[in-house]
Structures are given as structure tokens and as C-alpha cells.
Structure 1
Amino acid sequence: MTLARNADSLYWIGRYVERADDMARILDVAVQQLLEDATVDTDSMARHVLAVLGFQRADDTACTVWSLVDGVAYDRASAESLVGLIRTARENARGAREVISSEMWECLNATYMGLDDAERRARLLGPHAFLTYIKERAAMFAGLTDATLSHDVGYSYLIVGRSIERIDMTVRLLMSRAAYRPDALSWMSLLVAAGAQDTYIRAYRGAVDTEHVVEFMMLDRLFPRSVFHSLRVAERHLAELDNRPDRVGAQSTALTLLGRARSSIEFIGRGEMVRDLPAYLRSVQETCRAVSESIAAEHFHVEPYVTWTDTGLVYDYVSHGRKP
């Protein structure tokens, strides 16, 4: 049971740190566009960004740049804000101290403890300061993970979590642009949000068009944030965790789903993908959800935790902030 809980924690540490990094990237680009382009409808674009990130507006009041940043970045009452994600990642790391390196724990702990100062600076200098802090600390954590954590099963669980989250966030970015809304990020802004602009420009000689960007973000074999690359990484590490006999039909459901998703996009032409891009993106997103559920069932063996109340023993399913 302890091993399953540690594996569960490592998987979700990978997902939450990656989600914070990706959300900070998307929000940074969106805020910059809102502040610099006077022609953009602020309320419409802010609502669009919230929808891309999976946030629901509770009322019909107009969205501003500052309400967008407050809700996505600074909200301490929300488990889905950047502050909430870092807090939950830290709590998962606290529960898995014996299987992560001290440097990884110190990085997450220091990141969380520094959030108040980072927010104060950002309120004086602008949101970019806070979002840069999140991106830099996430990059530090990723580097420490690769450099100080043994590349054993624990490492594989963390990398699978990081890869699944990265696929989901890349798909969200592409879905936001596939609708061709006037308030959506431009293709170049999308590349900037994914940290892909320099690599893309070198690969395509600066030609920014729909087919090339979709091909790069979906199918590129070498860019670490492409959907194909992340699927392959997740598939490789999950295969190392699959202890079943190496026979036909013996692999886990999660591994089968990942292999099927990779195969479905591996040899497709960019023209065909662009023509039916929303369908491909929805399919990949559904695969991510199904894979996460299968991993939880097959590897973490989720069981009710026993808690005490005044009336005796009760069983309660505790998620520790985790969500598919």
C-alpha cells in the first residue's frame, strides 16, 4: 500500500508541476497580448483563456486582465490556480519524502515558500514577474529530477505523469486555435506559449502557417513538447512499469491506449490532420483521461482510507487534491 501511495504521489507531482509550468506559459503570453494589443476584446479573450485552462466563470461580470491573473495565478482558495497547484505538488512531495531526493523536496518547498514574495513583486512590476518565477522554478525542479532522482520505477511514474499532462496542455493550446476565434492566440503566440518558437523557426525557416505549426506541435519527433514525442516518452516509461509477461495482449490497458494514440497520428499527413484537427485533438484528450484512469486502477490500487469520527470508524476516499 505504501508503495502504491508513493507511486501515486510521484505521478501527480509530475502532473501538477507540469500543469503549473504550462499554465504560466499560456497566461504569460495571453496577458502580454491583452496589454499590448488595444484592438483585442479583453472580456472575450480572458474568457477564452479561462476556458482553455479549464476554469469556469461563476458570474457574468466582465473579465479584465487583472481578474484573469488573480483567478488563475494568485487565488489561494482554488486548487486549480498556480498557487494551488504548487501547494498540492508540495504536499504530495511531503508524503513521498523517502522516495524523492532532498534537492527535489527543497526545490518544491522553497518554491511554495517564495510565492508570497513573488506575488508582491508581480503586483508592483506586472504579472510577468510571477509567471516567470513559476516557469523558472518548474524548470529547476525538472532538472533536479533528471539529475538527482534514480531512474527507477519512481522516476518512471513521475515522467509518465509529466508527459500525460504535457500532452493534455499542448492539445488544449491547439484546440484554442483550431476554432479560429478572433480572440484566440495567434499561431506565433501559441508557439511562444509552448516554448517552441525558436525551434520551430529553425525547422521551418520562419514560415508560420497553419499546416506547419500543426505538424510541428502534433508530429515532431524531436521537440519535447510535441504530442507525438510526449506520447512516445509516456509509452516507453509506462512499458518499464508494466510487469506483465511480454506476450500478445498481455500489456496493460493504459499502455494499449497510449500505443493506439501514437499509432493513430504517427503516419498521418499534415493536410489530413489540419482538415479534421478538432476531432484528432478531442481523441487525444479523451485518451489522456482514459490513460490516467487506467493507471490509477492498475498501478495505484486506490482504496478507501480509514478515518476516525466521534461515532467510530468510517471509510473516506481521500484524493489529496488529485484530479484526472
Structure 2
Amino acid sequence: MLSRIAESLFWIGRYVERADDTARLLDVHLQILLEDPWAEEDSACRSLLSVMDRPAPAPQVQVGRVAVLDMLAYDRMAQSSIAGALVAARENARRAREIISTELWECLNTTWNQLPSHMRPARPHDYFTWVRERAAVVAGITDATMSRDDTWAFLVLGRSIERADMTARLITTRALAGSAGPGWTTLLRSCGAHEAFLRTYRGMASDERAAGFLLTDRLFPRSIVAALNQAEASLAALEPVADRATVDDARRHIGLVRTNLEYRPLADILDALPQEMEQVQRACSAASDAVRGRYFPSAATTTWTGENL
């Protein structure tokens, strides 16, 4: 497979997942601002922008939900926003048009065409719901129409790395906001995990168990450990280990942070939750850089020197 095609597939997975997870995160936090009249909107919005690695305005400028929506939901030029991620996913699908299925291309292209009509509705929740539904359609078509070959592995690898990173950001917002932030039940609902959590623990819910479910459950696909496991499986499918004494950098970064979460006592992780989630984000970034260096090397610049190329 050409490296440019592989890179486009990787970023299709990342961008669609980014749009989905950002919609879930914004939906939760804007709902809290609407429901809690005592919430400090400026500090809450600045905290959210910080978690999403977006620069906040100057301290003397009041930051509200309108500014957050403009930056994280509607900005078509920023790939860290919902609209920008959907635009970028469609552009990458266009580059990989000869590899992906017609149904997947049509789904991403239709989403891109419908985007202007769904932006800035009277209720932002309607926009977030539409984004989640379109991401679910993309995931369903991907699962139903792609062979489990390198095409599938690159797309799922991107999706899994992004999912682990974004779930870590979602949990970080809860840890930083403390009692003023969303409860664990709210976070479970935002990830579509609440019913699965109740079935797992048969109604014996607690904050610690809810946190553990989003962090370390091996069977729920949106938990951090499950996403990291899927990323490792995709890397193994792309390049099985031939030398028993070594492992590639991307698998090392993912494996280290995954085992740190899986095999440490949950109480230790919860005691330093923001720092632990920052480690997950750093590992995902390092793994993404390692994948880029291994599979998507940038083209060498061709220079002329006299008669020599």
C-alpha cells in the first residue's frame, strides 16, 4: 500500500473519532452550564479549552459557551474542532478514493455536504446528536464493507489511538472540575456506557466502579484500555514481531501506558487522575508520531546541483 493512502486511512479514523468524541464532550459540559445557575462559566470554559489544547483568550476577556462552540464545534478551518475534523476526514477519503468502499466515500461526502445546514442550530444538542449519528454510520459502514487487511488496520489504528486520547480528555475534565463538573454517571452516558456499566455491576454502582469502567474495562470498546488493546492489535496485524528481542516504538508507547493502567491498583490511579490521563495523552501522541515515522515518511526534497540530481 502506498504510504499516502495508508496515511489518509489512518487520519480518516482519527478525524471521525475526534468529531464524535468532541461532540460527546461538549454536549456534557454545555448541558451542565445550562442546568447549574451557579457554575462559573468563564473558568469552566477556560478549563475545557485547556483540556482540548486550544489557546484561551486573554484573562481580561470573558469566555463563554458561544466562544467555546465557535472554537470547538463550528470552526471549519481547525482540525481540532468538530466541523474541521469532518472536513478533514472527507478530504482524506477523497485522497484514498481508490481504496475505500463506495459506501464509505458517499457517507463521508454526504456528511460534508450536510454540514453547513446542521451548524449553529437553535439547540447545540441537535448538532451534537447529528455528529454522533454520522460517526456511527461511518463506523458501521467501515465494519461492514472493509476487508480485515492493511486498509482496515490503518483506519482502526487511527480510530483507536484517537479514542483513547479523547476518553482521557473527557475523564480529565471530570478530575479538574471536581464536584462542580459532570458526575461519573453523566460521563458514562456521554460515552454510551451507562447501560453496559449497570449490566456489568448489576446495579451496584459507585463512582470508583464507574471510573474503573471507563479506564480499564477490557470489553467495553470506549474504555481507555480496550482502545489501547485495539491499537496494539492493529499494529501487530500491520507488522508482526519478527525479532523476539525488540518491539517497535509505537507498540512500546501504547503497551507501557496500557499496562500501567491495567495492573496498578485503581485507587492509585484515581489519586492522581489528571497526571495519569496526561500520560495517556502523551503516549497516544508519541505512538502517533512513531506510526507516522514508520509508515508515512515525508517525501524527500529533490534538489538540483549543477548536472546532478
Q: Flag whether TM exceeds 0.5 (same fold).
A: yes
Structure 2: gaps of 5 or more residues: 304-309
Change in CA separation of 1:38 and 1:206 when aligned onto 2, cut-off 3 Å:
farther
* Aligned equivalents of 2:30, 2:172: Cα separation in 1: 19
Measured at CA, do residues 258 and 75 of structure 1 come closer, stay the same or move farther in structure 2, by a change above 3 Å?
A: closer
Q: Which amino acid aligns with 2:147?
A: S
Residue aligning to 2:249 = 253
Q: Does 1:31 align with 2:30?
A: yes
Matching residue of 2:4? 5
RMSD value, Cα: 2.0
Residues 184 and 211 of structure 2 are in contact (CA less than 8 Å); yes or no, is this contact kept in structure 1? no
- For residues 127 and 101 of structure 1, the distance between their equivalents in structure 2, rounded to whole angstroms, comes to 32
% same residue: 41
Amino acid at match of 2:199: R
What CA distance in whole angstroms lies between the structure 2 residues aligned with 1:62 and 1:201?
40
- Once the 2 structures are TM-superposed, how far is the Cα of residue 193 of structure 1 from its aligned partner? 2.1
> Displacement of 1:99 after TM fit?
0.9
Residue deviations 1:277-318 (CA, integer Å, cap 9, x gap): 3332222222111111111111112224679xxxxxxxxxxx
SS at match of 1:74: coil
| Farther-moved stretch of structure 1 (222-231 vs 169-178) | 169-178
Structure 1 residue runs of 4+, over 6 Å off? none
Query: What amino acid is aligned across from residue 261 of structure 1 in structure 2?
Result: V
For the structure 1 residues 153 and 279, does the alpha-carbon distance in structure 2 shift closer, same or farther, using more than 3 Å as the test?
Answer: same
Matches within 5 A, 1:38-49: 38-49=37-48
Say if 1:44 and 1:183, in contact at 8 Å, map to a contact too. Answer: no
CA contact (8 A) 1:177 1:185 kept: yes
Report deviation, 1:207.
4.8
The structural deviation recorded for 1:74 is 1.3
Alignment correspondent of 1:230: 227
Cα separation, 2, equivalents of 1:305 and 1:194: 44
**Residues 224 and 230 in structure 1, CA contact (< 8 A), matched pair in contact too:** yes
Q: Which amino acid aligns with 2:26?
A: L
Match runs of 1:46-57 below 5 Å: 46-57=45-56
Name the counterpart of 2:167. 170
Provide the rounded CA distance (Å) in 2 between the counterparts of 1:75 and 1:178.
27
Q: Aligned partners of 1:195 and 1:53: how far apart in 2?
A: 21
1:155 lines up with 2:189 in the alignment: no
Pair 1:91–1:203, CA change in 2 (3 A): same
| Contact map agreement 2:18 2:80 (CA 8 A) in 1 | no
Find the counterpart in structure 1 of residue 89 from structure 2.
Answer: 89
Please say which of residues 279-288 and 217-226 is displaced more in the overlay: 279-288
Structure 1: gaps (5+ residues)? 308-324
- Deviations 1:227-270 (CA, angstroms, capped at 9, x unpaired): 1111111101110111552x322431112222222222222222
Instruction: Provide the TM-score with structure 1 as the length reference.
Output: 0.87
Structure 1's 44 and 58: CA in aligned 2 closer, same or farther, altered over 3 A? closer
Residue deviations 1:69-97 (CA, integer Å, cap 9, x gap)? 22221123433221111111111110000
CA distance in 2, matches of 1:59, 1:106: 42
- Shift in CA distance, 31/304, structure 1 to aligned 2, threshold 3 Å: farther
Displacement of 1:214: 2.0
1:48-71 Cα offsets, whole Å, 9 max, x none, are: 222222221233421222222222
The size of the alignment, in residue pairs, is: 302
Given the superposition, is the C-alpha separation of residues 225 and 270 from structure 1 closer, same or farther in structure 2, using an over 3 Å criterion?
same
What is the match of residue 187 of structure 1?
Answer: 184
